[in-house]
Structure 1
Amino acid sequence: MTKPESTGYDYDVVISGAGLAGSAAAILLARRGVRVALLERRSDPEAYKVLCTHSITANAHPVLDELGLIPALEKAGAVRNEARWYTRWGWIEPRAALGGPELPYAYNVRRSTLDPLIRSRAAQTPGVDLLLGHQVTGLVREAGRTAGVRASTPHGERAIRARLVVGADGKDSAVAGLAGVPARQYENARFGYLAHFRNLPLHGGIGQAWFLEPDMAYAFPNDDGVTVLAVLPDKKRLPAFREDLEGSFLAYVRALPEAPPIDSAERITKIIGTVNHPLHTRKPTAPGVAFIGDAALTGDPLWGVGCGWALQSAHWLAEAVAAAATGRGDLDAALVAYARRHRRRLSGHQYLAADFAKGRPFNPLERLMFSAAARDASLARHMHLFASRLIGPLRFLNPLAVARASAVNIRHRRKPAARPADLSPTGR
């Protein structure tokens, strides 16, 4: 059991990384009475993550609400993230039931808008000290546990002692490396490139995703009339793709079903991406240490869940450790509770994502659910809840949903095929 000491610490919590997860955690902890040092290796307060889906899934809407960011996001032009998904059986188009509540949503918003906004809110929160240009270079260790960090700062090396160190510093977390917490890696058989376009019309004005088995693509409208367009082909196509990146990217998009008209839109960024993006999972805690966001779990970018999980994990951590971080409880027990919740909520999603990242076509159960969702409004809404990470794999594949999907597909197969007009009794 950790002793609730009240002296000898510079802060209650030190967070490494003032991006989305770190800034959210700093705000939520400080509001619960925790003294927080929020360290960011970059000196520019407007810095932001470049490679991102720029989409916050609906599971994180309550966190955005608690942070008080929703009015500011809507004022900044963030777009509610409705979407439709192409499959070989047609489009899955979730819509609210007639007379029912609207579908859950969050927002598509560029990280160049989102990151400075939430970092600024963190800096303005009483109890948070935002320390720019501070890069963690070591950990303070006492009695076999972490008790702070050593950081390179604009004014030299500095030690900052705290009861808890939080790694919010991405998939290649320096804190994890220094704490000796390895990551389990899952190979991703797809590579990805994206670009930003202005004035790119999309069907219905909403996000589009294409499941091309095994290739993928998506187009998400964002703030300021900018659409993020990404392609995620199988790595078998990489050598040919690299020979002419721009030509390959544009040809890939033009060949999509109901392809967005990129030739009439303005591309405002370079085509950027990565040829190797494995999925990472690491234990979310160690003695005196916790990990949130990509530092704990890095998903497959094709699902667009990273921002939502960053916000949720920050919230779960704040709820679990706030009292203990101020010396009013057992910190080890609080970390166990956080780790348990993190695993329970995300491990099933990550297991399915890692399996699909192998670049395989849909398996039989996926074929059942996706084909039925393209034919049935209720199952399309059920798919929306899963894609928004509001329900987990067990609820998504519950016996009632599977039975309904089976019934929908049986009815579909029993329908007589429509005869072409020239073969109908009145056709000429």
Structure 2
Amino acid sequence: MPGPESAEYDYDVVISGAGLAGSAAAILLARRGVRVALLERRSDPGAYKVLCTHSLTANAYPVLDELGLVPALEEAGAVRNEARWYTRWGWITPKPAPGGPELPYGYNVRRSTLDPLIRSRAAQTPGVELLLGHRVTGLLREAGRTVGVRATAPHGEREIRARLVVGADGKDSAVAEFAGMRARSYENTRFGYLAHYRGLPLPGGIGHTWFLEPDMAYAFPNDDGVTVIAVLPDKERLPAFREDLEGSFSAFVRALPEAPPIDAAERVSKIIGTVDYPLLSRKPTAPGIALVGDAALTSDPLWGVGCGWALQTAQWLAEAVAPAATGRGRLDRSLARYARRHQWRLRGHQHLAVDFAKARPFNPAEEMVFSAAARDASMARHMHLFASRLIGPVRFLNPLMMAKATAVNIRHRGAPPAPDRAQDGRGTA
């Protein structure tokens, strides 16, 4: 039987899912000379993910830049995601150091804008064939590895052979299911609902997140003057929300410190959400298969990292496997390289997210850093780097920063919380 490097293939790579991760992977692979079939189960090229934080954290900016999407996002009205965070010690508002560079940023942009934009770019990329209305119904296997997919198509069933199958089909990935790539599931003891408003002013015109211990909420301004507000309460509150969703949602938002004035704004969407959103982790590769985005790792939506990680994992995969996907290298070795990078870069973040999903109050280390960040400008910038996923947990909680946080808090012991000291740039540079 011919091996994977000598067999005839319809494409080098077939990707299931033409959302954010799949479209990005298709573009980046095709630019490296890979022939890509990009399958999307929905027939509408304008389809988009509805339940989302609509946040592209700053870690995704280099990928957006490589994709050439930054000018298009700016033109579409995407909002640079400057933000402040409420804690029991006051507000944390990161600002650039005096005379220093601007803080790294990503974008807040609705998926109704983002998904069709990146999918259209993928369809226009030489080497990519976008196949709408194609749903993967099985995998083709030879000699213990995957060599393609079976799919339902507008004109019947078809088989598509490829050296590599990429699952970019979300947390309930059919590719992973057919391949027997089981997910490890972690309970999320919060539930979440969100709604979109037009004409909703936020202080400073920037995003807001509330750490209420254990409840959470955020408000992010997006394109076209639309702001998304999400509430993520402890499941102890779930019976009240089930009894009166509209009333409970509105009451929760009105009770927030510096609450967004939702009664003076126009709500332009239904209140949507989920009462059960576990965190999932899968091994990101198998023989002939790679998973990207939520298919490999689904984190807690309260952190807003899913879109950024979708783009990053697409980039890591393209960098690792492109030569081997065209037959110029060992695919298994390339997949192992992708898996190592995926786990090295994301496992620590997911570990913290899994722990915080227990709807617990801050632990002592978090108390130390969050309280210092509310009191000191340089600690607020350190928080920004972690929230943007530009540094990992080891750097976030490294001994030097913990010592600095301790010193900041000792200086402020017994003093009342200052009103947004970090907001005007005061504090240690």
TM bracket (short chain):
over 0.9
Q: Deviations over 1:386-409 (max 9, x none)?
A: 000000000001111000000000
Kept after mapping to 2: 8 A contact 1:41/1:135: yes
Matches within 5 A, 1:54-93: 54-93=54-93
Kept after mapping to 2: 8 A contact 1:3/1:330: no
Aligned to 2:273: 273
Instruction: Classify the secondary structure of the residue corresponding to 1:38.
Output: strand
Letter in 2 for 1:253: V
Question: C-alpha separation between the residues in 2 aligned to 1:240 and 1:49?
Answer: 27
Kept after mapping to 1: 8 A contact 2:195/2:267: yes
Letter in 2 for 1:52: C
Q: Deviations over 1:302-354 (max 9, x none)?
A: 00000000000000000000000000000000000000000000000000000
Q: Deviations over 1:340-383 (max 9, x none)?
A: 00000000000000000001000000000000000000000000
Matches within 5 A, 1:91-170: 91-170=91-170
Matching of residue 372 in structure 1 with residue 372 in structure 2:
yes
Matches within 5 A, 1:389-428: 389-413=389-413
Aligned to 1:282: 282
Matching of residue 18 in structure 1 with residue 18 in structure 2:
yes
Kept after mapping to 2: 8 A contact 1:12/1:162: yes
Question: C-alpha separation between the residues in 1 aligned to 2:417 and 2:301?
Answer: 38
Q: Which runs of 5+ in 1 are unaligned?
A: 419-428
Aligned to 1:259: 259
Q: 1:251 to 1:416 in 2, by over 3 A?
A: closer
Kept after mapping to 2: 8 A contact 1:191/1:275: yes
Instruction: Classify the secondary structure of the residue corresponding to 1:152.
Output: strand
**Once the 2 structures are TM-superposed, how far is the Cα of residue 416 of structure 1 from its aligned partner?**
9.0
Question: C-alpha separation between the residues in 1 aligned to 2:328 and 2:318?
Answer: 14
Aligned to 1:421: none
Question: C-alpha separation between the residues in 1 aligned to 2:416 and 2:161?
Answer: 72
Aligned to 2:294: 294
Matches within 5 A, 1:184-199: 184-199=184-199
Question: C-alpha separation between the residues in 1 aligned to 2:358 and 2:337?
Answer: 32
Aligned to 1:346: 346
Instruction: Classify the secondary structure of the residue corresponding to 1:341.
Output: helix
Aligned to 2:363: 363
Kept after mapping to 2: 8 A contact 1:110/1:223: yes
Letter in 2 for 1:32: R
Bigger Cα Rg: 1
Kept after mapping to 1: 8 A contact 2:76/2:223: yes
Kept after mapping to 1: 8 A contact 2:59/2:389: yes
Kept after mapping to 1: 8 A contact 2:217/2:232: yes
Question: C-alpha separation between the residues in 2 aligned to 1:146 and 1:3?
Answer: 11
Kept after mapping to 2: 8 A contact 1:4/1:324: no
Question: C-alpha separation between the residues in 2 aligned to 1:206 and 1:6?
Answer: 54
Kept after mapping to 1: 8 A contact 2:87/2:212: yes
Instruction: Classify the secondary structure of the residue corresponding to 2:312.
Output: helix
Q: 1:415 to 1:135 in 2, by over 3 A?
A: closer
Aligned to 1:216: 216
Q: Which runs of 5+ in 2 are unaligned?
A: 419-429
Instruction: Classify the secondary structure of the residue corresponding to 1:237.
Output: helix
- State the TM-score, normalized to the length of structure 1: 0.96
Matching of residue 27 in structure 1 with residue 27 in structure 2:
yes
CA RMSD, 1 decimal: 1.2
**Once the 2 structures are TM-superposed, how far is the Cα of residue 5 of structure 1 from its aligned partner?**
2.6
Aligned to 1:239: 239
Instruction: Classify the secondary structure of the residue corresponding to 1:413.
Output: coil
Question: C-alpha separation between the residues in 2 aligned to 1:74 and 1:329?
Answer: 38
Kept after mapping to 2: 8 A contact 1:4/1:328: no
**Once the 2 structures are TM-superposed, how far is the Cα of residue 384 of structure 1 from its aligned partner?**
0.2
Q: Deviations over 1:244-298 (max 9, x none)?
A: 1001000000000000100000000000000000000000000000000000000
Question: C-alpha separation between the residues in 1 aligned to 2:4 and 2:164?
Answer: 12
Letter in 2 for 1:5: E
Kept after mapping to 1: 8 A contact 2:4/2:163: no
Q: 1:417 to 1:84 in 2, by over 3 A?
A: closer
Question: C-alpha separation between the residues in 2 aligned to 1:254 and 1:288?
Answer: 51
Kept after mapping to 1: 8 A contact 2:90/2:417: no
Matching of residue 385 in structure 1 with residue 382 in structure 2:
no
Instruction: Classify the secondary structure of the residue corresponding to 2:64.
Output: helix
Matching of residue 40 in structure 1 with residue 40 in structure 2:
yes
Letter in 2 for 1:258: E
| Percent identity between the two aligned chains | 82
Aligned to 1:422: none
Aligned to 1:204: 204
Question: C-alpha separation between the residues in 2 aligned to 1:99 and 1:380?
Answer: 16
Instruction: Classify the secondary structure of the residue corresponding to 1:99.
Output: coil
**Once the 2 structures are TM-superposed, how far is the Cα of residue 415 of structure 1 from its aligned partner?**
5.1
Instruction: Classify the secondary structure of the residue corresponding to 1:361.
Output: coil
Instruction: Classify the secondary structure of the residue corresponding to 1:358.
Output: coil
Instruction: Classify the secondary structure of the residue corresponding to 2:281.
Output: strand
Q: Deviations over 1:107-143 (max 9, x none)?
A: 0000000000000000000000000000000000000
Q: Deviations over 1:137-187 (max 9, x none)?
A: 000000000000000001100000000000000000000000000000000
**Once the 2 structures are TM-superposed, how far is the Cα of residue 241 of structure 1 from its aligned partner?**
1.5
| Segment of structure 1 superposing worse, 6-15 or 143-152 | 6-15
Instruction: Classify the secondary structure of the residue corresponding to 1:165.
Output: strand
Question: C-alpha separation between the residues in 2 aligned to 1:202 and 1:136?
Answer: 43
Q: 1:409 to 1:273 in 2, by over 3 A?
A: same
Question: C-alpha separation between the residues in 2 aligned to 1:180 and 1:268?
Answer: 41
Question: C-alpha separation between the residues in 2 aligned to 1:23 and 1:370?
Answer: 37
- State the TM-score, normalized to the length of structure 2: 0.96
Letter in 2 for 1:130: L
**Once the 2 structures are TM-superposed, how far is the Cα of residue 240 of structure 1 from its aligned partner?**
1.1
Letter in 2 for 1:356: F
Instruction: Classify the secondary structure of the residue corresponding to 2:412.
Output: helix
**Once the 2 structures are TM-superposed, how far is the Cα of residue 4 of structure 1 from its aligned partner?**
6.4
Kept after mapping to 1: 8 A contact 2:279/2:354: yes
Matching of residue 321 in structure 1 with residue 309 in structure 2:
no
